[in-house]
Amino acid sequence: MEKDKILVAGATGYLGKYITRELLSEGFKTKIIVRNPNKIEFGDDNLIVEKAEVTRPETLKDICKDVRVVISTVGITRQKDGLIYMDVDYRANANLIDEAKKSGVEKFIYVSVLNGEKLRHLKICEAKEKLGDYLKSSGLDYCIVRPSGFFSDMGDFLKMAEGGRVYLFGDGKFKINPIHGEDLAKAVVETIHNDKKEIDIGGCRVFSHNDIAELALNAYSKPVKIVHLPDWIRKFILWFLRTFTNPKFYGPLEFFMTAMAMDMQATPYGKHKLEDYFKNQVNNARKPPRSENECMNK
């Protein structure tokens, strides 16, 4: 069987969709594995959709037989499946690595997180770094992609800005260069052809948290009102969450609250501007819903 396909796991997610579109636009035969095919809103002659669940290895059997390269963006972000990072970010991706090895896949590309090695004490990074270690010792050629924040995650600034005030911990001077999914997808697809083993990557412009707050307020045409909360509140919330809630609940918050108190600056890449993204988000939110007739006439 000719090994000519690229397999994407995580194609129903924010980044996975952009990667799938990028692969198709470059003419790759692309196989995506999804647990819910209804989430796929686009079609293409080069697109093969297969139903499988990375958490259930029996559903992955022979899925990589005709596959040259596997790209995985699978990970818990906002999903509420009752699973923990070790189940998904580590174990499910390890299932896919095992299957890729069995079928003689050439390369495995995994989307991890910036500064993961330094943040191994956080639940999410513990699982992602364990997966990185597993991949490195798998014998497969590999690339680990370490992005800073995604544009999609800057939505929290917008939500606060809509109310007229953005709340930040500390002085708001920590730096980040968030990246648009489309830019990141291009960089991920480039790693198919190059021999880089790890890349860290962010968007084309570096911002302080204050800058991002200002952009978000500008997008709503609101005066710039930023409230700087003392950092002990952030530390107290982290302590409280770890002491009184379980990892399923506090995991995503733990990462967010930690990343808010450090620089998340990576190698700049891409062309999308955060201010345009914010303006589009605000404009889309303001568009009136289509009337029933409009939908029927489509």
Ligand X SMILES: NC(=O)c1ccc[n+]([C@@H]2O[C@H](COP(=O)([O-])OP(=O)(O)OC[C@H]3O[C@@H](n4cnc5c(N)ncnc54)[C@H](OP(=O)(O)O)[C@@H]3O)[C@@H](O)[C@H]2O)c1
Q: Which residues bind ligand X (CB under 6 A)?
A: 10, 12-16, 35-36, 39, 53-55, 73-77, 79, 81, 83, 88, 92, 111, 113, 147, 149-150, 152-153
Q: Would you say 206 or 224 has its CB closer to ligand X?
A: 206
Distance CA 1, CA 123 (A): 40
- Measured from the CB atom, is 153 or 190 closer to ligand X? 153
15 or 100: whose CB is closer to ligand X?
15
Minimum Å distance from CB 50 to ligand X? 13
Who contacts 64 (Cβ-Cβ below 8 Å, separation ≥6)?
Answer: 7, 70, 99, 100, 102, 103, 105
Q: Which residues of 6-22 are buried (b: 16+ CB within 10 A; e: fewer)?
A: bbbbbbbbebbbbbbbb
| Nearest distance, CB of residue 73 and ligand X, angstroms | 4
Residue 65 CA to chain centroid, in angstroms?
27
Helical spans, DSSP H, in 55-180: 85, 93-102, 123-136, 155-162
The residue at minimum Cβ distance from ligand X is: 13
Question: Cβ 212 to ligand X, closest distance in Å?
Answer: 13
Q: How far is CA 113 from the centre of its chain?
A: 8
* Residue 273 C-alpha from the chain's centroid: 18
Comparison of 110 and 169: residue with beta carbon closer to ligand X: 110
Q: How far is the CB of 264 from ligand X (least distance, A)?
A: 9
- Coil, strand or helix at 256: helix
Token representation of residue 184? 């990141």
Q: End-to-end distance of the chain based on CA atoms, in angstroms?
A: 42
Residue closer to ligand X by CB (options 69, 71) is 71
- Tokens standing for 124? 């999410």
Residue number with CB closer to ligand X (56 or 290): 56
State in angstroms the smallest separation of the CB of 225 from ligand X: 25
Least Cα distance to 266 among 201, 207, 206 occurs for: 201
Minimum CB separation from ligand X for residue 210, in Å?
Answer: 19
Secondary structure letter of residue 5 according to DSSP: E
* 224 half-sphere exposure, CB direction, 13 A CA radius: 8
CB of 1 to ligand X, least distance (A): 25
Rounded CA separation 31/48 (Å): 5
- Give min distance, CB of 2 to ligand X, in A: 27
Region of residue 189 (left: phi > 0; alpha: psi -120 to 50; beta: else): alpha
